[in-house]
Structure 1
Amino acid sequence: MLRGANAINLDTKGRIAIPTRYRDWLGDTCQGQFVCTIDIQSPCLLIYPLNEWLLIETKLRALSSTNPQERRLQRLILGYATESELDKSGRALIAPTLRQHAKLQKKVMLVGQLNKFELWDEDMWNQQIKNDLEDGLPTGIELSSGLREFSL
């Protein structure tokens, strides 16, 4: 499982070094292969181990290519999707178009989200966390059933 926020660097060639604690898991789970694409709700990238990405592709394939909203989602998610794999040093290359989309600078955050990573520019991540903490959960609106039943 992928969890935790990790401050890492993006090198001049556009590579990130995956923290050691994830490398063995990624090797065992997907032979170090992954797919990176954009997040359509936040200014970050999503990095899926290949086995998880195949599940996403199945869901995207089931959408209608004649429905404009569904087609837009397919176009964005699949259009930006880039396959890659960890090199022998545990580094992952992030495509230039993806780096530009997420406005990634040298300092980035790799954030585990159970079945995927989010990759954020460090400043944007810090601002997002600040906003999330300040905003808290919305009041005066109906919570989803998942949030109503959620407890720690």
Structure 2
Amino acid sequence: MPSRYRDELLSRCAGQLIVTVDAVDPCLCVYPLTEWELIEAKLRQLPSLVEENRRLQRVLIGNAVDLELDSNGRFLVPPRLREHAGLDKHAMLVGQLNKFQLWNESAWNALAEADLAAIKQPGGLPDELRDLIL
């Protein structure tokens, strides 16, 4: 964990993290425990008779693993989750507001480049989103 986030994570959640698969992108989501508890509460409120709800719960909760930052600010991702995201020695930890995404570096670089190119295209970003950054 980069040092600029380490102190904040230690104060907010005592370095306790939850890692799970991302339901959309080929990466992992790393949540501070306090943020994960909010996600878990929302998932708990979903009607369990709806198949899509159960599917999302199975994917997110079924793959969730508790992690803790060690004294050097590192955390160990279980092999099955590393394999899911194609993680090797070159990984990218990307901040995403309430969580981090953990990517294979090559996959992240390709997606980041494609996203930027798409945004730069005429009409690539709706006006209401463009207003956020102007």
By the TM > 0.5 criterion, same fold? Answer: yes
Aligned-pair Cα RMSD in Å: 2.1
In structure 2, the residue matched to 1:61 is 44
**More helix per residue: 1 or 2?**
2
Question: SS state of the match for residue 132, structure 2?
Answer: coil
Letter in 1 for 2:132: F
Using the alignment, how far apart are the partners of 2:16 and 2:127 within structure 1? 34
Using the alignment, how far apart are the partners of 1:131 and 1:88 within structure 2? 37
Task: Please state how far the C-alpha of 1:148 moved relative to its aligned partner.
Answer: 6.7
Using the alignment, how far apart are the partners of 1:138 and 1:25 within structure 2? 37
Once the two structures are superposed, residues 58-102 of structure 1 have per-residue CA deviations (whole angstroms, 9 ceiling, x without a partner) of 011011221011110010000111111011111101111111110
1:74 aligns with 2:67: no
Once the two structures are superposed, residues 102-130 of structure 1 have per-residue CA deviations (whole angstroms, 9 ceiling, x without a partner) of 01111000111121111000000011011
CA 1:93–1:66 in 2, change beyond 3 Å: closer, same or farther? Answer: same
Runs of 4+ in structure 1 over 3 Å off: 137-145
In structure 2, the residue matched to 1:150 is 132
Question: SS state of the match for residue 48, structure 1?
Answer: strand
CA 1:24–1:140 in 2, change beyond 3 Å: closer, same or farther? Answer: closer
Using the alignment, how far apart are the partners of 2:124 and 2:92 within structure 1? 31
TM alignment of 1:115-130, pairs within 5 A: 115-130=98-113
TM-score, normalization: structure 1?
0.80
1:32 aligns with 2:15: yes
For structure 2, list consecutive stretches of 5 or more residues without a partner in the other structure: none
TM-score, normalization: structure 2?
0.90
For structure 1, list consecutive stretches of 5 or more residues without a partner in the other structure: 1-17
In structure 2, the residue matched to 1:88 is 71
How many residues were matched structurally? 134
